[in-house]
Amino acid sequence: MEFAIKQAEFVTSAGLGSPYPEKTAAEIAIVGKSNVGKSSLINSLCNNKKLAKTSSNPGKTRLINFFKINREFYFVDLPGYGFARAPKTEKDKWGKLMEDYLSSGRVDHIFMLIDIRHAPTEDDKLMLQWIIYYNLPFTLIATKADKIAKSKRAQMANAAAKQLGAPPAAIAFSSEDGWGRELVLQRMDQVVKDVKNLRAGIDIEQQ
């Protein structure tokens, strides 16, 4: 049966020093630079254009936003990085917030978004280093694929992944024309199943 998101709701926001919601389900964190399309990805996957707020102002979101999906797992939308005009104090807060969450032991998988049209930035490379440092499984998603000819989308997505220093296996995605949506949903479904199976195994061992 094809995986589908039938229910999605905003749960809460968390800032530096504020508590996260109780860990009751798998958490898929979504990271990427400002305006790479994180909110658009969430809205596209959930078929709800108003679920996650989009902004034309880079770096506007400074909170971690939790969305409960199908009552069985969370999307966790992390603040975008790479906002050049932000004061240093804001960038420092962002760094502490990201590090606090990524090192919390809550993260089951990361969807890292990169812009298919451009070479990865130094901030992108730093984020990948953090993901690897914390030993977090991840999937690369190359957004804004509608700006590229369909025949070149897969090739350019994989090329961007290779430039980033990651395995050349990124999913080309567009929230505008739906390109790659089913692949992302399939990946999400597999992640949630893997987490459930892992927890079931741990529960059996503890009995």
Average confidence (pLDDT) over 113-136: 94
pTM of the shown model: 0.90
The reported pLDDT for the residue numbered 201 is 67
Instruction: State residue 146's pLDDT score.
Output: 96
pLDDT tens for 76-123 read 999 988 766 677 787 788 889 999 999 999 999 999 999 999 999 999
Residue 102 CB-density burial (10 A; 0-12 exposed, 13-18 middle, 19+ buried): buried
Span 31-35, average pLDDT: 91
Contact residues for 160 (Cβ-Cβ < 8 A; gap 6+)? 114, 115, 116, 118, 119, 120, 140, 142, 170
pLDDT mean across residues, the chain: 89
**Can you name the CATH fold of 8-13+24-200?**
Rossmann fold (3.40.50)
* Gyration radius of the chain's alpha carbons: 17
Residue in the block written with tokens 């707020």: 53
- pLDDT digit string, tens, across residues 176-189: 999 999 999 999 99
Q: Examine the pLDDT at 134 and tell me if it is beyond 90.
A: yes
Does the pLDDT of residue 49 top 70, yes or no? yes
